[in-house]
């Protein structure tokens, strides 16, 4: 995918790529073919070097990359026969959360996820992936549907947070999220959670309780975004890098504290550099996870799920 | 004891908004400026006799307001916050905790135990806003579940008072997961047919409101408490408008159908007892 937006730390790569392109455009390409090949190898080495040593803040930037695949991209490329279902039957349809019925192989599933937009217009439509209460209530409705028809649930998490708006508060943002946590904790079908981009706080968790918590290599998940954390604890927006470090919000960090079960590797350079490869990996991981969960009885599933969350936390006594 | 317990502004390290009511002999009402004698304040369940302002009080005072004398037993006091992430912002989390423990003599942002309300046994938890802003970390989540488990074991109702700015940032994703942990536990209580009453006091926001605080079978709010998911300042910055008077206050939530009742602290024990008697009085089996 041609990227029109380069992250700061990728600039050395882009410089080299430009140089290669220039050389290719020269009349007598044959003569310098060895040099071009040498440079290409250099680019690959540089890229894997940079991506092996990403800071936490750099990962946050990759998680927010405008070309990164979103929920509907995964639904389109990893699932089949998708039927989108709309509305919370109460107030309105929230485009910041999408969901519906789909298949993966011969397994029928209910799929739900946060949805961001890719340009100004679609971002306004999707509210930048920030749900209102009706989004969580639509998800609630789809989870009930899943339970009634014995369909496993797949949730893709990717939100900068639940929308902090006046009407959102009036309509009970807190209650809408709380109600989903309660419902998902005891839902009688398997639930797979995949954090694909940004997992910001209660807005992400509101569709994020499940049997297996999977996370893309360059996604982030925490109680607050690094910028907001910086503004509250450092009383300035300038400490986002330090905040990202302190929050330990990357996939490997969350495996360490027992929150994330499995990291899904991304192509070198991030999911947006090779979406096809990303979709192939995602599909095979989902199939594998579904088949493991499918062999567990319903009551065991719920008991294990609750125990999983009871075990989260660190204290002394 | 000092007449007024007021710290010099220069050496105060937490904003006035973060504090609970000071323990002086006389207290000035922040709403109507009436000077209230300590004894009178106690008799009025720590509300202003003149304007009904509800002072922010911690768990110890709620225990005295709600429970029959001599019936209270505190539990799990030894469960303390650790610092699993080695979190450092402008100060290390360890230092903040140490200071909070020594300044408040509280067992963290929540106190749990059992007691009797007009003779009825109740499992109980109450948040302490004076401890790191009542923020919910691993300890709050764990003690919530343990207190609730006592309700399960003794087949008694579970009552929990919230007062919190939200999740504790210094425990990052672990504090976020306490929302899921506490909510997951409440499904067990619901399956057992035991009532869970959530009492919302000033303030109840963020991750606490978006989990157990809003999951009560019955939700009771104290008058004029700030209750919401996002804080008012964040909302104002987002929508670039001034918020209407009374927005996110208890009465506003009552009007919007988000809480069952707004109850003066005077009547809290009586209301709680009445609700619990109804819910525990059904014919089962």
| Shared-domain flag, residues A171 and A253 | yes
User: Is the pLDDT at B15 greater than 50, yes or no?
Assistant: no
Which of chain B's residues have a Cβ under 8 Å away from the Cβ of A313?
Answer: 137-139, 141-142, 174, 177-178, 181
Which of A17, A36, A53 corresponds to the end of one domain? Answer: A53
Take residue B79 and report the two structure tokens written for it.
Answer: 């469960």
Query: Is A317 inside a domain boundary?
Result: no
Question: Residue B182 contacts by C-beta under 8 Å, 6 or more apart in sequence?
Answer: B141, B144, B145, B211, B212
Tell me the average pLDDT across B164-193.
97
Residues of A with Cβ-Cβ distance to B164 under 8 angstroms: none
* pLDDT given for residue B13 in this prediction: 42
Is A2 domain-assigned?
no
pLDDT of res. B69: 97
Q: How many domains does chain A have?
A: 2
- Rounded to an integer, the average pLDDT of B161-175 is 97
Q: Is the pLDDT of residue B7 over 60?
A: no
Task: Say what the pLDDT of residue A35 is.
Answer: 86
Q: Packing angle between helix A173-185 and helix A133-148, nearest 10 degrees?
A: 20
**The predicted structure's pLDDT at residue A2:** 44
Q: Chain B closest CA to A309's CA: distance in Å?
A: 5
Taking residues A2-31, report their average pLDDT.
81
pLDDT band, very low/low/confident/very high, at A289 (cuts 50, 70, 90) = very high
Which of B14, B31, B30 lies closest to B165 in space, CA to CA? B14
Q: Are A152 and A221 in the same domain? A: yes
When CB atoms are compared, the residue of B82, B241, B256 closest to A315 is B82
Which chain A residues touch B183 with a CB distance below 8 Å?
A: 178, 181-182, 185, 209
E strands present in chain B: 26-28, 35-37, 73-75, 80-81, 110-117, 120-127, 158-164, 196-205, 218-221, 227-228, 261-262
3-state secondary structure of A42: helix
Q: Which residues contact B252 (CB under 8 A, 6 or more apart)?
A: B246
Residue A8 above 50 pLDDT?
A: yes
**Where does chain A show beta strands of DSSP type E?**
80-84, 97-104, 107-114, 153-159, 191-200, 212-216, 220-222, 262-264, 315-316
What does the pLDDT average to over A233-242?
94
Measured between beta carbons, the chain A residues lying within 8 angstroms of B177 are: 205, 259, 309, 312-313
State residue B18 phi and psi, 5-degree precision: -85, -10
Task: Please tell me chain A's helix, strand, coil percentages from 3-state DSSP, rounded to the nearest 5.
Answer: 55, 15, 30
pLDDT for the residue A32: 83
Whether A254 sits inside 8 A of B173 (CB atoms) is: yes
Residues A65, A48 share a domain: no
Return the residue in B210, B215, B249 with the most chain A beta carbons within 10 A, the one to mutate for interface testing.
B210
Instruction: Kindly state whether residue A191 falls inside one of the protein's structural domains.
Output: yes
CA B138, CA A307: separation in Å to the nearest integer? Answer: 15
- Does the residue A115 lie in any domain? yes
Minimal C-alpha gap between B258 and chain A (Å): 7
A49 in the same domain as A186: no
Bridge partners of residue A212, in order along the sequence = A192
- Kindly state the average pLDDT of the residues A74-86: 98
SS3 per-residue string spanning B34-90: CEEEHHHHHHCCCECCCCCCECCCCHHHHHHHHCCCCCCEEECCCCEECCCCCCECC
pLDDT at residue B11 in the model: 43
Tell if the CB–CB gap between A173 and B185 is shorter than 8 Å: no
Q: Based on the domain organization, do A130 and A240 belong to the same domain?
A: yes
Closest residue, chain A, to B84 (C-alpha) = A314
Average pLDDT over residues A231-256: 96
Q: Which domain holds residue A45?
A: 8-53
The residue among A165, A312, A316, A317 with the most chain B CBs within 10 A of its CB, best to mutate, is: A312
Residue whose token pair is 């317990």: B5
How far, CA to CA in Å, does B171 sit from each of A148, A293, B137, B141?
Answer: 37, 30, 6, 12
Tell me, yes or no, whether A41 and A64 share the same domain.
no
Average pLDDT over residues A95-111: 97
Contacts of B258 in chain A (CB under 8 A): 172, 175
- Paired tokens of A206: 């509101």
**Mean pLDDT value across residues B95-108:** 93
How many residues are recorded in chain A? Answer: 317
Number of H helices, E strands in chain A: 14, 9
The CA–CA distances, whole Å, from B2 to B10, B25, B38, B58, B103 equal 19, 7, 12, 20, 17
Return all residues near A105 (Cβ < 8 A) that are at least 6 apart.
A287
Residues of B in contact with A245 (CB under 8 A): none
Helical (H) or strand (E) element with A95: none
Residue A3 lies in a domain: no
Instruction: Please give the share of chain B, as a percent, with pLDDT higher than 70.
Output: 93
Backbone angles phi, psi at B132, to 5 degrees: 45, 50
Chain A residue numbers touching B235 (CB-CB < 8 A) = 164-166, 169
Measured between beta carbons, the chain B residues lying within 8 angstroms of A201 are: 167, 176, 207
- Dump pLDDT digits (tens) for A171-191: 999 999 999 999 999 999 999
- Give B47's strand partners: B54
| Cβ atoms of A184 and A145 closer than 8 Å | no
Mean pLDDT of chain B: 93
| Structural domain spans, chain B | 12-53, 57-279
Cross-chain residue pair B207–A223, CB shorter than 8 Å: yes
Statement to judge: residues A48 and A64 lie in one domain? no
Q: Which residues pair with B42 in a beta bridge?
A: none
pLDDT score of B20: 74
Q: Which pLDDT belongs to residue A33?
A: 84
On whether both A129 and A201 belong to a single domain, the answer is yes
Confidence check: pLDDT of B119 > 70: yes
pLDDT per residue over B185-223, tens digit each?
A: 999 999 999 999 999 999 999 999 999 999 999 999 999
For range B34-55, the mean pLDDT: 94
Contact call for A314 and B209, based on CB within 8 A: no
Look at B210 and A202 and tell me if their CB atoms are within 8 Å: yes
- For CA atoms B248, B249, B255, B261, give the dihedral sign: positive
The pLDDT, as a whole number, for residue A306 is 98
- Cα A244 from Cα A200, distance rounded (Å): 12
- Cα separation, B36 vs B47, in Å, equals 10
- pLDDT of A230 higher than 80: yes
**Which segment, A7-16, B38-47, B175-184, is predicted with the most confidence on average?**
B175-184
In b/e form, how buried is each residue of B251-276, taking b as 16+ CB within 10 angstroms? ebbeeeebbbebbebeebbebbbebb
Smallest CA–CA distance, residue B223 to chain A, in Å, is 18
Residue B1 has pLDDT above 60, yes or no: no
Residue B89, pLDDT > 70, answer yes
Question: Do residue A88 and residue A211 come from a single domain?
Answer: yes
Based on the number of CB atoms within 10 Å of its own CB, is A23 exposed (0-12), middle (13-18) or buried (19 or more)? middle
Asked if residue B187 lies in contact with residue B211, where contact means CB atoms within 8 angstroms, the answer is no
pLDDT over 90, % of chain B = 89
Class of domain B57-279: alpha beta
- Report pTM: 0.94
Query: With a CB-CB cutoff of 8 Å, which residues 141-200 of chain A face chain B?
Result: 162-166, 168-175, 177-179, 181-182, 185-186
3-class DSSP state of B272: helix
- The whole-number pLDDT of residue A4 equals 60
| Same-domain check for residues A252 and A221 | yes
Indicate if A217 and A262 belong to the same structural domain.
yes
Judged by CB atoms closer than 8 Å, whether chains meet at B183 and A182 is answered as yes
Q: Are B141 and B178 in contact (CB under 8 A)?
A: yes
Sequence-distant (≥ 6) Cβ neighbours of residue B184 within 8 angstroms: A181, A182, A185, A186, A209, A305, A306, A309, A310
* A14 and A107 within one domain: no
First to last CA, chain A: 53
CATH number of the domain residue A238 falls in:
3.90.226.10
For every residue of A201-263, DSSP letters joined together read HHHHHTT---SEEEEETT-EEESS-HHHHIIIIISSGGGHHHHHHHHT-BHHHHHHTTS-SEE
In this prediction, residue A22 carries a pLDDT of 87
């Amino acid at each position: 995918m041609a990227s029109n937006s380069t992250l700061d730390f990728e600039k050395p790569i882009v410089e080299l790529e430009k140089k290669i392109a220039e050389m290719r455009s020269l009349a007598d390409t044959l003569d310098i073919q060895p040099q071009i090949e040498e440079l290409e190898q250099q680019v690959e080495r540089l890229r894997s070097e940079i991506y092996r040593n990403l800071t936490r803040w750099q990962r946050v930037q990759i998680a927010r990359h405008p070309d990164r695949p979103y929920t509907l991209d995964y639904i389109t490329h990893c699932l089949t026969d998708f039927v989108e279902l709309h509305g919370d039957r109460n107030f309105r349809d929230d485009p910041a959360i999408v969901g519906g019925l789909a298949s993966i192989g011969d397994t029928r599933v209910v799929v739900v996820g946060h949805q961001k937009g890719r340009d100004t217009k679609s971002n306004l439509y999707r509210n930048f992936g920030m749900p209102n209460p009706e989004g969580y209530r639509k998800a609630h409705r789809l989870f009930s549907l899943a339970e009634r028809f014995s369909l496993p649930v797949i949730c893709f998490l990717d939100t900068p947070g639940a929308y902090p708006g006046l009407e959102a508060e009036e309509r009970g943002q807190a209650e809408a999220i709380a109600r989903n946590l309660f419902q998902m904790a005891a839902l009688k079908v398997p639930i797979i959670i995949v954090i694909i981009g940004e997992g910001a706080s209660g807005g992400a968790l509101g569709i994020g309780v499940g049997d297996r918590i999977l996370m893309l290599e360059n996604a982030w998940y925490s109680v607050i975004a690094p910028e907001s954390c910086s503004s509250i604890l450092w009383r300035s927006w300038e400490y986002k890098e330090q905040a990202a470090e302190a929050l330990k919000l990357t996939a490997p960090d969350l495996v360490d504290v027992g929150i994330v079960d499995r990291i899904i590797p991304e192509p070198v350079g991030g999911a947006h550099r090779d979406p096809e490869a990303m979709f192939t990996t995602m599909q095979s991981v989902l199939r594998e996870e579904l088949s493991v969960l499918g062999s567990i009885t319903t009551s065991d599933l719920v008991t294990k799920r609750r125990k999983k969350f009871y075990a989260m936390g660190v204290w002394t006594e | 004891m000092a007449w007024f317990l007021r710290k010099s502004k220069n050496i105060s390290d937490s904003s006035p908004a973060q504090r609970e009511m000071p323990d002086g002999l006389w207290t000035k009402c922040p709403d109507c400026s009436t000077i209230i004698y300590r004894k009178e304040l106690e008799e009025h369940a720590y509300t202003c006799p003149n304007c009904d302002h509800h002072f922010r009080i911690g768990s110890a005072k709620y225990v005295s307001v709600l429970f029959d004398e001599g019936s209270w037993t505190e539990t799990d006091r030894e469960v303390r916050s650790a610092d699993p992430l080695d979190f450092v912002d402008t100060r290390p989390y360890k230092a903040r905790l140490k200071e909070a423990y020594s300044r408040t003599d509280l067992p963290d942002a929540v106190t749990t135990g059992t007691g009797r309300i007009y003779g009825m046994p109740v499992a109980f938890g109450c948040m302490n806003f004076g401890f790191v802003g009542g923020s919910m970390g691993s300890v709050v989540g764990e003690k919530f579940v343990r207190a609730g488990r006592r309700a399960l074991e003794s087949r008694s109702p579970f009552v929990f008072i919230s007062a919190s700015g939200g999740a504790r940032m210094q425990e990052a994703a672990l504090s976020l997961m306490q929302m899921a942990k506490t909510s997951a536990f409440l499904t067990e209580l619901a399956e057992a047919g035991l009532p869970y009453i959530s009492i919302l006091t000033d303030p109840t926001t963020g991750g606490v409101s978006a989990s157990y605080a809003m999951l009560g079978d019955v939700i009771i709010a104290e008058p004029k408490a700030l209750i919401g998911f996002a804080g008012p300042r964040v909302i104002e910055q987002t929508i670039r408008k001034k918020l209407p008077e009374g927005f996110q206050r208890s009465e506003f939530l009552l009007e919007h159908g988000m809480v069952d009742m707004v109850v003066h602290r005077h009547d809290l024990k009586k209301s709680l007892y009445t609700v619990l008697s109804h819910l525990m009085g059904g014919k089962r089996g």
